[in-house]
Every structure is written in structure tokens, then in C-alpha cells.
Structure 1
């Protein structure tokens, strides 16, 4: 069938526009992330000085009552007053926090704008080829990043979770950059093996499940970082990096709730692929590399949820399984599609 080159060109333009909108959102989110880190640091310093002041006052009162020396106050009051003056006041910190919230809202708006243009790029690609745009690896990256961004935007509606945006936008931009560069394929009809009504059903289901699974895996990765650097006890360079992140409990909750959705959806996609395989190749399962890695990924998600519900595994052990599932997903997306030859070798790179 003929390809509408005008629509294909518009799709490519929308793709580039999407990338730069997400890039702008990333820059603003990093700026907001740094500002929020500074606000939290200043608040904790004020709290630390206030606690020292209370201890000093208590020690001074006790010393006066017992007739002891007043040198036990823990330091020179003039030095403390100087440090306190260097720190922002509570009113100024509240103002800075309000500005940070506005930046977070701006990031959220830019992300939704990027998602709209992202969807336009996908739809135009499909209209240009008169098929569902799942025919090669470039289009699959376009689809799975789109679903991941939609899932993330829905999950991050809550104000306290928007500090996670730099951690999601960075890998998504990397995927789009690689997909639009190394994996790009001209708009063209799909190979005969993909001309089936099962094609959009199977691929879209697997893509949605995989996208939600990616959000879950990223949340588990951040949970492990937060466990290493507990909230309020951060230290060193990495402590400053993770300071604006939510608590470990919140991150674990995000990972768990999204994995609950990812497991059945991704599993349904694998089952639909097996039904399509029986119709196309005369067997439900043949241990093709793509089939095998998809099944392994699903098993890892199931193992994570089982471990998460098992006493003694609810800490970092379960989270590591979810991170392993994320790694398996990425391995299946790139290595299996590009390097390993199989019945699912439709990357469109030749």
C-alpha cells in the first residue's frame, strides 16, 4: 500500500518537537529539584540549630539552678546568632517552596503538552502507513515511551511525587534519542507476517504492561537509593542528590501499586502473543528468544509481588527483583530485537 510521505514527515516533525518539549521539562524539573533540595537543607539546618538552642537553654537553666558555670551552653551565642541570620527565615522558605511548587506545576503541564504531541506523532505515523504504528523497533520505542509518559503523568499527579520527574524524563529522553537516531526507519508497510488483526491487540497490550512495569522498576530503583540514604539522614554527594525524593515508604508504594497493574496486563499480552503464534506458526509456544525473555520478565514481576507480600522480603530484597525485571525488559527491548535472530526479528534495521 502507498505511504503518505506528507503525513510521515509531519510525524517526524512531531517526534522532534516531542523530544524538545520533554527536554525543556527535564531542564525545569532539574532546576526545581535543586531548589527543593536547598529548601529542605535550609529547613533541616534551622531545625538542628533550634534543637541545639533548646539543649543550651536547658543546660543553662540547670547550671544556674546548681550554681554551676554558664559555659556549658554549647557555644558562643554570637556565633549562633550569626549562623541563624545567614539562614533564610521561615517566611522566605515558604515563599521559595511556593515558587518550587509553581515550577513543578509547569513541569507537569509541559509533560502533558509533550504527551499530546507524542500521541500526534504516533497517530500521524499510523495514518501515513494506513496501519497501526508498531511495525519496527523505532515505532515500538515511540509507543512504549508514550505509554510510559502517560502512566507517569497519571501517577505523579500528587504534589509530593513530582520530584521524581528528572528520574523518569532522563531515561525516556535517552530512549527517544536512541530510537530517533540509531533505530529510525522510514515509514513503510509491514512485512506480511505482521498483517494480522492480532498484531495491534498483542503489541499494544504488551506495550501498556511494559510501560507500567518501567514506572514500577524506576520507583523500586529510587526506593533502593532512598533506603541507602534515609529521609532526614542523607549524607555526602548522593545524599544531596536524593534529598528531594519522597520517603522510602512512598516509593515502595508506587512500585508495588504499579506492579499490581503491570503483571496482569503484561501477562495478558504474552498470552495474546501465544494465541497469535498458534494462528501464524501452528504452535502456541516455541521458546523463541523474544517469547522466552517476555515470559522471564513476567515471572520476575510475579516474583516481586510475591516477595513484596512475604514477611522477611518486604525490604530491599523484593525491590531488587523488580529492578531485575526492569533490566530484563530493557534487555528484551534492545538486545533480543537487535542482536539475537528469531521469529520476532522485525526491528526494521536492515
Structure 2
């Protein structure tokens, strides 16, 4: 029974990845067919706004966009069931190795994106760019990082795993979305690829979205670091030992704290603050792959292969 559940989970994971790929294609069709919007500046140093369209938007891009959202919702449901059945097959919380950890991060990122679309449908043109890193992560998780369902090593057999790893996964998924949106914001303002950039949501909308997602993710990330320290004291007899993963996590925390402070400071609310957010996103990716997979440390036993 457990073997069948594990196989079912793996197939659902592949199915979810395929559905997300279809959703990304539908988003890309919507993006390609959409009308470009021309930014106009209101006053000296004023916020960017969109010039009014000369004609109503075509119904075809709108239809593809709605289909993309519906397909993404289906993929999220398949992904959630995949993660749940993985836990049932392994008879533990399904975040005990890199395959499961990245799967959880991808699910958190997709759910975050769906919530964003529910509240702000106007940012939907960013859809293909948000789903692309999710697909890359899922491809890596399902191939290079895949491990069969099974028990975890003794240090991970703690109720703190479900608390710490869940919160770090959710916050990382949120920060993936915020990082991608900040990159799109910088592209929108840079003047590079003007035809593509003109089809993105307004720079002001992207900036607000990145800030709002980060301001939700930051307390969760902080809580994850605190619970990780408590777990470390129970497992290794110390709260903090400047292990490589702990060190980079602390650097990420400092960068995101600096971003939130910069975002609230006059003169830093646009481009410079976005660069800080992108730097934080880079440390998250660095910690996720390089520290977990290359650098030796106490966190190196997470089952990469």
C-alpha cells in the first residue's frame, strides 16, 4: 500500500509539473497577444502610470489568461495531493529531503501567485515569469534531487521538523514570487527589451506587489530561523553555531530587513530598494542549492541523492 502511495505521489508530481507547463504556455500566449501599454510620468519624479489604451483589449488574450489561471489552480490541487500522499507513503511529515523541500517551496510559490491574482488580476501578465522558475525547480527536484519515499535520518525525527521546515518552505515560496516580481519591476524601468517590458504590469503595481509579499514572508522567515535555532539546541546542543546554512540564512534575513527598511525610506522606494530585494532572492537561491548541495555542514544530510 505504501509503495503504491509513493508511486501515486510521484505521478501526481509529474502531472502537476505538466499542468504548470501548460499554464505557463497559456500565460505566454496571453502575454504575446496583449497590447503594449506605454508608461507616462506624472510630474517630476512622480509615480509611473499607464497611458490609456487606444482601443479595448482583445478578448482573446483575456480568454487565454483566464484559462491559465484555471489550469494553474488545477496544478496546485494536484501538487498538494502529491505532497500529502508522499507524507502518507513515508509515514512522516513530507519535507525531510531536498526533493520534498523544493516541492513544498514550489507549491507555496504557486499558491502565493494564485492569491495575488485573486486580489490583483491586473498583474496577470507576469504569470509566465513567475511559473518559469517554479518549473525549473520542479524539474531539478524530480530528476537530480529525487529520492524514494522513506524514513529520515535520526536528527530529523523531531516535531520541530514539521514546524521549522514548513515555515521556511512557505516563506521561501513567497520570497521566490517577490524576487521575480522585483526583477520584472527593474526590467520595466530599465528600458531594456522595450516591447516586452511594455506588456508587463505597471512598474508601480509590481513594486507594491513585491513589497506586500515580502512583508508577509519576512515574519515567517524570522519565525523559521527562530524555530531552527530551537531545533538545533535540541539536536546538537547549541542554538547557533554559524554553520554555513545558518550563516547564509542570517545574511538573507539581514538583506530582507534592509529591504523593508529601504522600502519605507524616502528616496529608496523604487529601483534601489528593488535591487536589495533581488539580492535577498539571490541569497535564498544560493542557500537552497549551493549550501545544501556543495558546502559541507551540519545541514548536509538532507538526502540529496
Question: Does TM, scored on the shorter chain, surpass 0.5?
Answer: yes
Q: Please report how far the alpha carbon of residue 346 of structure 1 lies from its aligned counterpart in structure 2 after TM superposition.
A: 2.8
**Residue 148 of structure 1 aligns with which residue?**
109
Distance (Å, rounded) in 2 between the aligned partners of 1:156 and 1:170: 16
Aligned counterpart in structure 2 of residue 330 of structure 1, from 285, 291, 298: 285
**Residue 40 of structure 1 aligns with which residue?**
36
Q: Runs of 5+ in structure 2 lacking a partner?
A: 39-53
Q: Please report how far the alpha carbon of residue 319 of structure 1 lies from its aligned counterpart in structure 2 after TM superposition.
A: 0.6
- Structure 1 residue ranges (4+ consecutive) displaced by more than 6 angstroms after TM superposition: none
Cα displacement string for residues 97-127 of structure 1 (whole angstroms, at most 9, x for unaligned residues): 2221121111000000000000011001000
Q: RMSD over aligned Cα, in angstroms?
A: 1.4
Q: Please report how far the alpha carbon of residue 159 of structure 1 lies from its aligned counterpart in structure 2 after TM superposition.
A: 2.3
Greater shift after overlay, 3-12 or 164-173? 3-12
Q: Please report how far the alpha carbon of residue 278 of structure 1 lies from its aligned counterpart in structure 2 after TM superposition.
A: 1.0
**Residue 347 of structure 1 aligns with which residue?**
302
Q: Runs of 5+ in structure 1 lacking a partner?
A: 45-89, 230-235
In structure 1, the residue corresponding to 2:58 is in which secondary structure?
helix
Distance (Å, rounded) in 2 between the aligned partners of 1:310 and 1:135: 40
| Conserved? CA contact 2:184–2:206, under 8 Å | yes
| Conserved? CA contact 2:175–2:214, under 8 Å | yes
Aligned counterpart in structure 2 of residue 275 of structure 1, from 221, 230, 251: 230
**Residue 244 of structure 1 aligns with which residue?**
199
**Residue 161 of structure 1 aligns with which residue?**
123
| Conserved? CA contact 2:36–2:195, under 8 Å | no
**Residue 161 of structure 2 aligns with which residue?**
199
Q: Does 1:18 align with 2:16?
A: yes
Distance (Å, rounded) in 1 between the aligned partners of 2:127 and 2:270: 24
**Residue 7 of structure 1 aligns with which residue?**
5
Q: Does 1:27 align with 2:25?
A: yes
Q: Please report how far the alpha carbon of residue 268 of structure 1 lies from its aligned counterpart in structure 2 after TM superposition.
A: 0.4
Structure ranking higher in helix proportion:
1
**Which is higher, the Rg of structure 1 or of structure 2?**
1
**Residue 138 of structure 2 aligns with which residue?**
176
**Residue 130 of structure 1 aligns with which residue?**
91
Q: Does 1:294 align with 2:249?
A: yes
Aligned length in residues: 289
**Residue 263 of structure 1 aligns with which residue?**
218
**Residue 315 of structure 1 aligns with which residue?**
270
